[in-house]
Amino acid sequence: MSHTQLALVEILAVAASFSQSVSGFGFNLLIVPPLALVIGAKQAVVTATLMGLITSALTLSNARASVSWGLGALLFVTAAAGMPVGILVLILVEPGMLSALIAVTVLVAALSYWKGYRVATKSPLVDAGAGFLSGLLSTSTSMSGPPLVLYLQNRGVVADQFRGTINAFFLASGALASLLFAVGGRIGSAELMVVFVASPLILAGWAAGHLAFRRLDVARAQHVVIFVLIISASLSIAGALGNRTFS
């Protein structure tokens, strides 16, 4: 990895961690599309999953009292069933197509958050489907959040419980996804080096966002994050069409 790539990764890590801390969501959604342009789609998925463990643990440390453990366990079990399918997608889909899939996932998520879209149907099948789809996206794109956000909104989960439960899920599912990546030989020295170098900057970005949280209008900050997601997804689509990375 070149010095330019490493510097770009560090910048992305700070920005995504700051946004996650301020708005309560979006670390992987923010970092994966541009990271795919910097280091390639498949390496970006694995690297972002490892880095996401840090931000999930930090966010959960302040929200663990509000976790709905029963709901989180249900989502985790069904997500675990979807993860092997996601790994097959990661292995079989060529990098340019995977970048496009990542971009489309982010774009759909951003527009859904912006419009406040909710799934009207409530049933055990919807419960299982949300978890399964989240697991599939976790190991194929490193972005398990969109199905869960829509699902938890549909269930009317209050803000504190939402923040705690979704980050408990992210931490548990991210750990399982990382284990599956390791067993499958997809975590190497390059991925570990990136995470090691980025970790202090992730901590710094999260701490800065935590301080800013008290001074900023959170609703406005979330709209800014959504706008950035749309721009990020658009750039990722352009990069996927060009099928190139920075060097």
Which pLDDT belongs to residue 119?
60
How far CA 226 is from CA of 75, 167, 207, 213, 229, in Å, comes to 25, 19, 21, 17, 5
**Average confidence score pLDDT of the chain:** 84
- Name the domain count of the chain: 1
Token pair recorded at residue 99: 């970048």
Which pLDDT belongs to residue 158?
77
Between CA 109 and CA 95 the distance in angstroms is 21
pTM for this prediction = 0.85
Which pLDDT belongs to residue 157?
76
Which pLDDT belongs to residue 27?
87
Report, as an integer, the average pLDDT of 204-229. 74
Residue with the bigger pLDDT between 159 and 41: it is: 41
Domain that holds residue 198: 3-242
Tell whether 247 is covered by a domain. no
List Cβ neighbours of 242 (8 Å cut-off, separation of 6 or more): none
